[in-house]
Every structure is written in structure tokens, then in C-alpha cells.
Structure 1
Amino acid sequence: MRKLQYTGKLLIILSFAAIYLIWGTTYLVISIGLEELPPFLMASIRFIIAGVMLAGYCLYKKEKLPSARSIMKNAILGLIVLAGGQGLLIWSEQYIASGYASILSATLPIWFVIMDKSNWKNYFSNPFIITGVVLGFLGILLLFKDTLSASAFSETALLQLYGSLAVLIGAICWVVGTLYNRSNPAPGSMYSNLAWQLLMASFICLFISFSTGELAGFDISAVTYKGWLSVIYLAIAGSIIAFIAYTWLLTKMPSAIVSTYAYINPVVAVLLGWYLAEEVITRYQLIGMVVILGSAILVNITKSQVQSKSIEAEEGEPEIEPVMKLKS
């Protein structure tokens, strides 16, 4: 019995380490891969590796092939969440530091409150959530201060502004896809759905890569082991190992505790970018990071409490923690 308890605790610790560290390191690994690979091609290769591996696992488990309706829904999610959310994030890191991108990604809980129209009455009747949203936008303005003050005079600053906006649009895409998945879930297992999302997103990103001229002058034989290792790490560690750890933790721990990865990842990304890549974080960006992370914590914790009370009021029983959430 003690051995089983020890094993369970060890798995929980390792799973938290996976979602904290792996997802925190992906921002820097993306910037390393971009030194040799164009952004949407890199996204396409990442997704096809992870998608094939997950599809192979589903075949091994002898799962049924999905219906055309299921494939279509997963294609929509692949377009919005992976090609839109992850693709734009990867594209943005051509122009902005990896740590800076991670801070902007931490605004996700704020966009969720703004776009989850079905729960507006509960959200915006709570002063803590309103305060969190206002603080979140204040943090964004602080992050943009240096760029906006120089954008009229510097082409580099303009590209940084476009990169920053791309991350925010990517975060919004992620929220839109999550809300779509909640109201229109595709039938089938979690692993099968994710596999098809990754495969569809891979083809979409490859099409974007071709249509935007990313491959003009690109020589795949010039990609070194560093570039390939970056993509493989993102595919296996980021899209599979950390995702499995995340979904397993949701069956063992309260979702509010599991979701703390959203606050730890930016800190890991900023520290790694500063220490390993010599990325510079200005004073305003540092203040903006603190404000955004504080607002995200305030919004997320309060939102969980509001949703719990709402379910208890409607059903007369405690909230049951979700088994699965959309994350890759």
C-alpha cells in the first residue's frame, strides 16, 4: 500500500514537472528552431510527428476510425487552435523574444472571460473578475509601451508590434477553439481527436507555408541537428508527454491547481530566455509581466469559484472536476 502511495505521489510530482518545465521551455525551443526553419513549416513538421504518433497509438488500441463529421470538427479545431493559436505564436517569435511571447500568452484567462458570452452574467457581476480583466489590459499596455513609443520611427519596432499582436490573436484563437469544442465536442477518444487535430493542422500549416512563400530559398539539407531536435522536442515533449501529464493530472487533482502551469510557464520562459539566450526584458515589460500574471491568477481562481457556486446552485451538489480539457 505504501509503495502504491509513493508511486502515485511520484507520478503527480513528475506530471507537474512536465507541464511546468516542458511547456515553459517550448518558447525558447521555438526560437532556436526558427534559426533554421521557417515558422509555419516548423509548425507543420511538429504537428505531423505528434499526430502520426498519436494516431499510431490509437491504431494499437484498436480504436474505431472517426466519422467524416468527427474529422470535420477536428479539422476546424486544428485550424483555429493549432494553426491559429500555435502557428501564430511560432510566427511571432521571429520578431519578439521568447520570454516576452510567453508573458503575452499568459493573458489567456482574460480572453476566456471576455469571449465566454454564456457566462458573462456570472463573470461580470463579480468585482474580482472585473478587476482582473482591467489589470490584464493594463499589463498589456505596459508591455507595449516601449514598442509603441518607437513604432513610428523603427521598422524593427513595427515588426515587434506585429509579433506581439500575433501572440494575442493566437491566444484568442485558442479560446475560440476551446469554446467551440465545449459546445460542439467531436465524438471519439481524447487521443483520437487530438491526433486528427494535429494531422489536419499540419496540412493547413504546410499550405500556409507554401502560399506565403516561406519555402522560397529554403534548403532543407541545410537544417542541422539543432533544428531537427527542436522540432522533435516540441512534437514529443510539448504536444504528447506534457499533454498526457496534463490530462492525467486533471483526473487526480483539482483543475484550479493543475491550471497553475499558466502562471509558472512564463516565469520559466523568461528566466531561460534571459539566462540562455541573453534576451533583454525592460523595466516596463517586467512590471507588465507581474501585472498580467496577477490578473490571470485573480481571474482564474475567482472564475473557478463562480462556476462552482453556479453548478451547486443549479444541481444542489458539488462540482465534479473535468476529466479532459483542450490543450496541446
Structure 2
Amino acid sequence: MIFMNYALMCLVFGTTFLAIKVGIDAGAPPFFSAGLRFLLAGSILLTYMVIKRKAKLSLLFRKEMFLTGTALTFGTFATLYWAEQHISSGIAAILSATAPLMILGLQTAMARQRLSIHALAGCLIGTVGVVLLLLPGLTVNFSKLWVFGCISVLVGQVFYSAGTVYSRRVVKRFEDTSPIALNAAQMMYGGAMLLVLSLFAEPVDIGPMLAPKAVLSLLYLIFAGSMTGHTIFYWLIAKTNPVFPSTWLYVSPLIALCLGAVLYGEPISVLSVIGGITIIVGIVAVNLDSLKALMFKGRPQRSKTGETKAV
């Protein structure tokens, strides 16, 4: 179940980059469309959970939801949307792939645990894989805005990493509340903040948002990207750890590359294939402990005294 949901999340997140690009190209204001996406998705989900009596509206008055929404939704997407006006999506993807490494460092520092060598190696291998995957198509135009764009993405990943690690604590604190409701509440806060930012940062013209491509993009991002993808992400944090679900940042460029080849006939280089294989190796290394636990679950193991015990 965990790996099926992980695969579905990666597939959804791998296609949202294209959906965002379609919406922006259609003329939708970036911050406004992002805010509308998350506010509507969160409102629909929370309303459904309240009707089903699986959540209470009082959840919106908890500071944890505000803090999580500030980090996971507002901080992450405000910086990313702004940055992609000045840097290529390939550069943004490579910089975003630093998040699992940041999360691993934060989690280790907060838990005061020893850093797992294979997890660290896996994060580094995965990052290298993303670079190799996207290297053939990278274009770089140095300027002040390009530099600020790169810094903006990295700042966004700091928000994302902190929010992901903090979400693990929130899930434990609200054990009686569904992760779906928790995700909905934080998206509502993040979406509202993005809409406020839009009022001060960009001209808002509703006309372009009514174009068919913009409407389809928004609907896909609401129902598939936010309501499905982000809910699975939150569920995976609750069921595993903060690092594992965040490795989608390694997989999404690979999915985007495959979609480009299938839908648009874009060529795939040998270097990109090597990058894809490297990404898979990195993900396996990061999740080696989890994979071992699943492989040997239920199998009897022989103890040092010769007795057998179930794992």
C-alpha cells in the first residue's frame, strides 16, 4: 500500500509541472492561480471531512495548521513560482532536489541521532542523478535575477524541509485526526497567504483564467495535484518518515522526461538514461532500512541463542 501510494504520488507530482506551465502560458497570474488552487482544494477536502464527521472546523484555529501552511504551501510555492520566471525548470528541479538532503540533516539534528551513511549517500546519489538526467537540456543565462531566482528556490526548499519535518510532529500530536484533514487545513492557510501576496505582487486579470487551458490546468492541479498528491504525501509522512515521501523530487524529473518523449517526441540522451538509473539507485539507498523491514516482515529470524522469532 505504501509503495503503491508513493508511485501514484510521484506520477501526480511529475505531471503537475506541466499543468502549472500550461496555466501560466495561458495567462493565469502565478501567485493568484496557486493561491486559488490550494485554497479551493483545502476547502473542498475539509468540508468533506467535516460532513463525514471525521474532522472539526476548530482545526483551523490551531497554530500548527498555520505554521505548516506557511512552510509547506506558502513558503515553498511562492518562492518557486517567482523563481521560474527567471530560471529554467531544469535548474529549478536540480535545486529542488536538495530538499531530501536538507530534511535528512534537519531530522538527524532534531532527533540527535547518528546520520545513516546509506541514507546520506542515497540523497547525494539521487541529486547527482537529477543533474545527469537534466544536463543535456539545461540552459543557463547568468544575470542578477537568475542568481536571485536560484537563491529563491533554495530558500523555498528550506521552508519545504522544515515544514516536512514539522509535519511529522503535527501528525503525532493530532493522532485522532485524519492526515487528509490536516493537509486540507494547512493548504487553506497557505492558499490564503498566496492570494494576499498576489494582491501586492501582480496584476490580477480574471479573463485569462477563464481560457479553456487555464481552467483545465487549475482543475487538474486542484483535484489531482493538491487533493490527491499532497494528501498522499501527508499520509506517507504519517506512515513512514519525512525523508521517504520527499524523494519524489528525484522521480518527478524522470517522469517529466518520459512524458516529453511520449507526448512530444522529445529525444532522450544516453546521459539522461544514466541519470535515471542513478536516481533509482539513490532512492533504494535512502530507503534501504524500510525495504529490508518490508522484505523480512513476517519471516522468522534465528536469534543468537538459536531460537526463532518473528519479525
TM-score of the aligned structures, taking structure 1 as reference length: 0.68
For the Cα contact (< 8 Å) 1:106–1:266, is it kept in 2? no
Alignment partner for residue 195 of structure 1, among 180, 184, 206? 184
CA drift at 1:298: 6.0
CA distance in 2, matches of 1:265, 1:19: 10
Partner of 1:27: 17
Alignment partner for residue 252 of structure 2, among 265, 269, 274? 265
Query: Is 1:176 the counterpart of 2:162 in the alignment?
Result: yes
CA distance in 2, matches of 1:295, 1:12: 16
Partner of 2:279: 293
Alignment partner for residue 215 of structure 2, among 228, 232, 236? 228
SS at match of 2:58: coil
Alignment partner for residue 105 of structure 2, among 108, 111, 114? 114
Partner of 1:312: none
CA drift at 1:248: 6.7
SS at match of 1:94: coil
CA drift at 1:19: 1.9
Unaligned runs of 5+ in 1: 1-8, 309-316, 320-328
CA drift at 1:237: 0.5
Partner of 1:93: 84
Q: Which structure 2 residues correspond to residues 76-87 of structure 1 after superposition, within 5 A?
A: 76-87=67-78
For the Cα contact (< 8 Å) 1:109–1:299, is it kept in 2? no
SS at match of 2:57: coil
CA drift at 1:24: 0.8
CA drift at 1:33: 1.2
Partner of 1:53: 44
SS at match of 1:122: coil
CA drift at 1:121: 4.0
CA distance in 2, matches of 1:112, 1:127: 15
Change (3 A) 1:244 1:191: closer
Change (3 A) 1:298 1:160: farther
Count how many residue pairs are aligned between Structure 1 and Structure 2.
288
CA distance in 1, matches of 2:150, 2:278: 14
Paired amino acid for 2:8: A
Paired amino acid for 1:300: V
Change (3 A) 1:118 1:12: closer
For the Cα contact (< 8 Å) 2:68–2:167, is it kept in 1? yes
1:158-185 Cα distance to aligned partner (Å, 9 max, x none) = 4444333333322221110122233355
Moved more, 21-30 or 180-189: 180-189
Paired amino acid for 2:76: G
For the Cα contact (< 8 Å) 2:71–2:160, is it kept in 1? yes
Query: Is 1:18 the counterpart of 2:8 in the alignment?
Result: yes
Paired amino acid for 2:22: I
Change (3 A) 1:51 1:69: closer
CA distance in 1, matches of 2:242, 2:179: 17
For the Cα contact (< 8 Å) 1:110–1:133, is it kept in 2? yes
For the Cα contact (< 8 Å) 1:37–1:227, is it kept in 2? yes
Q: CA RMSD in A?
A: 4.4
CA distance in 2, matches of 1:99, 1:173: 20
State, as a whole percentage, how many aligned pairs show the same letter: 29
CA distance in 1, matches of 2:239, 2:166: 26
For the Cα contact (< 8 Å) 2:74–2:190, is it kept in 1? yes
CA distance in 1, matches of 2:247, 2:91: 19
Query: Is 1:38 the counterpart of 2:29 in the alignment?
Result: yes
Paired amino acid for 1:301: N
SS at match of 2:287: helix
CA distance in 2, matches of 1:287, 1:203: 40
CA distance in 1, matches of 2:246, 2:124: 21
TM-score of the aligned structures, taking structure 2 as reference length: 0.72
For the Cα contact (< 8 Å) 2:29–2:205, is it kept in 1? no
CA drift at 1:206: 1.1
Paired amino acid for 1:104: L
CA distance in 1, matches of 2:103, 2:238: 22
CA distance in 2, matches of 1:201, 1:99: 25
1:70-95 Cα distance to aligned partner (Å, 9 max, x none) = 2x210111111101113322333333
SS at match of 1:44: helix
CA drift at 1:120: 5.4
Alignment partner for residue 227 of structure 2, among 212, 219, 240? 240
SS at match of 2:226: helix
CA distance in 1, matches of 2:227, 2:117: 38
For the Cα contact (< 8 Å) 1:88–1:167, is it kept in 2? yes
